[in-house]
């Protein structure tokens, strides 16, 4: 709503003597009250006056000063209402002019945001947490980019750690017993699970595994390195195939191993800050002094035998990211079960006196559960959930829906993939990220609920109206719009105008659900509007039809734009 909020803020600044940048407009609680609201509390406090009195005075001062905008006091607020024809002309004009760039801004110009997302572990298929991290992270990348930030997506692959000692020994012993050709990811998982069991019960296996990991960490070339490298390649091939299906990529794929040469310098840096201690032979940083609740959980940085840990590698990665990017924000899109880990990392930075510690944010999220909040399982593999299986499952189900509803659809396999994937992605982004997500194929594919397919369907419906208008050579196509007929579409227009604010807020809070909920509300309002006989779009008189067609075009454009940001395709037909 910048086109309107800017002149309103300027007028308020003039009337109050407070600078416009310090003043804020809100959305009125009830849209009937107005399109924008100014809370008078701050000004009232400064003037030592009652907020309602200030509101009344400001409304009187501003009335008649803003062309096409009326100011009315309601309690402690001044509400502004924009005349509908003006609102329609300005908002539709801007949406059409900006096209795909609508909603973007330059707030991020010259600034970098680092987003660590997906980050699966070698030798295992992506688990549920990685699925959510991938979807949420990719949406955050697009949102931040829309605001002009340089965004560096980093895949922090779990390719290092003591578990690889066990895996190497398992490969030595059982490589020939598993099928690593046909389904390498599952073959590796099999070996990984066998190694986990052997580590528990087999003394000799354990000793060999410890030696193998020490050999790996030594950096020497040889059998151990080669096996580890091979496992990494096989796994990465699997992950990359999945990313390709999701059309997701990272600017940097830097596994934990990438930071190997930076580990000792990182430890030296922490030691030089004078905050390390030796506790039972291990190197730790205690955190109780900065946060009482971390008193019992110091950050462990080096084991007695000299090997490093997940936290050591993350700390080295943080130093390197800060030095390389001087980031505005560094986001870690990682499940809620790692809260402690990120609090510890931030705790170490705080104790070191790094003033950029506040820029590091753990973007946590809830679980992905099956129907009835049970542990989710796949048809093919039961307990082990493979993202590709889920993708297959939703695409097949989407194809079945299309076959039932629109069997003649051109490109129906492509559309089925888009609808299936759209359902899966939207379901993950629909609610606040910290909430758990229920994955129920039938529900997320419904064209009527709060789903991705519902939004895609609404978008396709608007596309179909526009196709028909073009095919009929509708008289409205070349006419000058009579914007006053959009009196009935005030809420839609205000919503279209708010799009950029929603994108900004979703990015700032790392909360794509704000955009999801916005799109659902917009789609509902637009569907109701086009269904009403008062708003006949096709075949109405030139100027009326022109304004209505413009609203349809703009609504379709913003819906498509928002869906794209979330990672949901917006087919023209379905
Ligand atoms: N690989 C880790 C896991 O699966 C997630 C890594 C997240 N990123 C990070 N920098 N710690 O649990």
What pLDDT shows up at residue 502? Answer: 97
**387-566 is classed CATH 1.10.730.10:** yes
CA distances from 441 to 96, 423, 567, 569, 571 (A): 36, 8, 18, 18, 20
Q: Is the CB of 332 under 6 A from ligand 1?
A: yes
Using the predicted structure, report yes or no on whether residue 555 has a pLDDT greater than 90.
yes
Q: Give the span between the Cα atoms of 305 and 27, in whole angstroms.
A: 59
Closest ligand 1 atom to residue 335 Cα is 12
What pLDDT shows up at residue 382? Answer: 61
- What is the rounded end-to-end Cα distance, in angstroms, of the chain? 32
Using the predicted structure, report yes or no on whether residue 342 has a pLDDT greater than 90.
yes
User: pLDDT tens, 231-251?
Assistant: 999 899 889 989 999 999 999
Q: Is the CB of 116 under 6 A from ligand 1?
A: yes
Work out the percent of the chain whose per-residue pLDDT is above 70: 99
Neighbours of 295 (CB within 10 A): 11
Query: How much distance in Å is there from the Cα of 499 to the middle of ligand 1?
Result: 33
What pLDDT shows up at residue 82? Answer: 97
Band of pLDDT at residue 378, cut at 50, 70 and 90: low
Closest ligand 1 atom to residue 256 Cα is 10
Band of pLDDT at residue 452, cut at 50, 70 and 90: very high
Long-range CB contacts (within 8 A, 24+) of 48-56? 51/75, 51/76, 52/76
Using the predicted structure, report yes or no on whether residue 1 has a pLDDT greater than 90.
no
Query: How much distance in Å is there from the Cα of 158 to the middle of ligand 1?
Result: 6
User: pLDDT tens, 88-147?
Assistant: 999 999 999 999 999 999 999 999 999 999 999 998 888 778 999 999 999 999 999 999
Q: Does residue 131 or residue 150 have the better pLDDT?
A: 150
Query: How much distance in Å is there from the Cα of 433 to the middle of ligand 1?
Result: 17
Q: Is the CB of 161 under 6 A from ligand 1?
A: no
Q: Does residue 352 or residue 389 have the better pLDDT?
A: 352
Q: Give the span between the Cα atoms of 473 and 466, in whole angstroms.
A: 11
Q: Whose CA is nearest to atom 5 of ligand 1?
A: 119
Q: Whose CA is nearest to atom 9 of ligand 1?
A: 156
Q: Is the CB of 334 under 6 A from ligand 1?
A: yes
Q: How large is the angle between the packed helices 542-566 and 513-531, nearest 10 degrees? A: 160
Query: How much distance in Å is there from the Cα of 483 to the middle of ligand 1?
Result: 53
Query: How much distance in Å is there from the Cα of 62 to the middle of ligand 1?
Result: 54
Using the predicted structure, report yes or no on whether residue 451 has a pLDDT greater than 80.
yes
Encoded tokens for 75: 């309690």
Query: How much distance in Å is there from the Cα of 258 to the middle of ligand 1?
Result: 14
Q: Is the CB of 255 under 6 A from ligand 1?
A: no
Q: Give the span between the Cα atoms of 406 and 410, in whole angstroms.
A: 9
Element (H, E) at 337: none
Q: Give the span between the Cα atoms of 572 and 418, in whole angstroms.
A: 11
Closest ligand 1 atom to residue 158 Cα is 1
DSSP of 166-197: HHHHHHHHHGGGS-TTT-HHHHHHHHHHHHHH
pTM of the full predicted structure? 0.95
Domain boundary assignment for the chain:
2-82, 163-245, 387-566
Closest ligand 1 atom to residue 314 Cα is 10
Residue pointed to by tokens 């008289």: 475
Q: What average pLDDT does the chain have?
A: 94
Q: Is the CB of 557 under 6 A from ligand 1?
A: no
Query: How much distance in Å is there from the Cα of 334 to the middle of ligand 1?
Result: 7
- CATH number at 2-82: 3.30.1360.70
Query: How much distance in Å is there from the Cα of 214 to the middle of ligand 1?
Result: 22
What pLDDT shows up at residue 384? Answer: 67
Q: Is the CB of 312 under 6 A from ligand 1?
A: no
Query: How much distance in Å is there from the Cα of 74 to the middle of ligand 1?
Result: 50
Band of pLDDT at residue 8, cut at 50, 70 and 90: very high
The half-sphere exposure of 202 on its side-chain side, counting CA atoms within 13 A, is: 14
């Amino acid at each position: 709503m910048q086109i309107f909020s800017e002149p309103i803020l300027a007028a308020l600044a003039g009337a109050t003597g407070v600078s416009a940048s310090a003043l804020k407009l809100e959305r009125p609680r009830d849209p009937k009250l107005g399109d924008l609201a100014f809370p008078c509390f701050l000004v009232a406090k400064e003037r030592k006056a009652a907020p309602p009195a200030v509101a009344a005075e400001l409304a009187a001062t501003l009335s008649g000063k803003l062309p096409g905008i009326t100011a009315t006091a309601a309690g402690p607020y001044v509400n502004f209402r924009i005349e509908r024809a003006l609102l329609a002309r300005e908002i539709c004009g801007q949406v059409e002019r900006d096209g795909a760039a609508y909603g973007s801004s330059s707030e991020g110009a010259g600034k970098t945001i680092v987003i660590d997302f997906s980050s699966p572990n070698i030798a295992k298929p992506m688990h549920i947490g990685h699925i959510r991290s991938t979807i949420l992270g990719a949406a955050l990348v697009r949102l931040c980019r829309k605001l002009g930030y340089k965004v560096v997506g980093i895949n922090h692959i779990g390719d290092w750690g003591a578990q690889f000692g066990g895996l190497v020994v398992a490969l030595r012993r059982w490589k020939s017993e598993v099928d690593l050709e046909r389904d390498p990811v599952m073959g590796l998982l099999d070996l990984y699970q066998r190694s986990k069991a052997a580590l528990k019960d087999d003394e000799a296996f354990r000793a060999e595994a410890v030696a193998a990991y020490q050999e790996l960490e030594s950096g020497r070339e040889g059998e151990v390195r080669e096996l580890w490298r091979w496992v990494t390649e096989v796994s990465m091939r699997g992950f990359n195939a999945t990313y390709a299906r999701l059309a997701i990529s990272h600017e940097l794929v830097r596994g934990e191993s990438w930071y190997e040469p930076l580990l000792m310098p990182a430890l030296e840096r922490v030691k030089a800050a004078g905050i390390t201690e030796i506790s039972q032979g291990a190197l730790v940083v205690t955190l109780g002094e900065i946060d009482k609740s971390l008193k019992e959980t110091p950050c462990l940085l080096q084991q007695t035998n000299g090997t490093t840990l997940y936290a050591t590698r993350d700390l080295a990665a943080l130093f390197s990211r800060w030095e390389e990017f001087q980031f505005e924000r560094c986001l870690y899109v990682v499940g809620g079960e790692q809260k402690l880990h990120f609090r510890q990392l931030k705790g170490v930075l705080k104790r070191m006196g790094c003033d950029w510690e506040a820029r590091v944010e753990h973007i946590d999220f809830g679980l992905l559960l099956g129907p009835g909040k049970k542990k989710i399982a796949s048809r093919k593999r039961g307990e082990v959930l493979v993202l590709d299986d889920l993708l297959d499952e939703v695409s097949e189900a989407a194809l079945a829906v299309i076959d039932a509803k629109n069997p003649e659809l051109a490109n129906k396999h492509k559309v089925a993939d888009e609808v299936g994937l759209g359902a899966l992605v939207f379901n993950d982004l629909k609610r606040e990220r910290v909430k758990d997500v229920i994955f129920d194929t039938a529900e997320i594919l419904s064209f009527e609920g709060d789903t991705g397919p519902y939004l895609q369907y609404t978008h396709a419906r608007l596309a179909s109206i526009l196709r028909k208008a073009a095919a009929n050579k509708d008289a409205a196509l070349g006419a000058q719009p009579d914007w006053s007929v959009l009196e009935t579409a005030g809420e839609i227009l205000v919503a279209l105008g708010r799009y950029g604010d929603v994108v900004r807020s979703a990015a700032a809070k790392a909360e794509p659900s704000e955009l999801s909920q916005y799109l659902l509300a917009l789609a509902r309002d637009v569907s109701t509007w086009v269904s009403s006989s008062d708003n006949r779009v096709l075949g109405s008189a030139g100027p009326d039809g022109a304004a209505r067609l413009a609203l349809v075009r703009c609504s379709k454009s913003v819906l498509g734009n928002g869906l794209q940001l979330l990672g949901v395709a917006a087919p023209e037909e379905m």
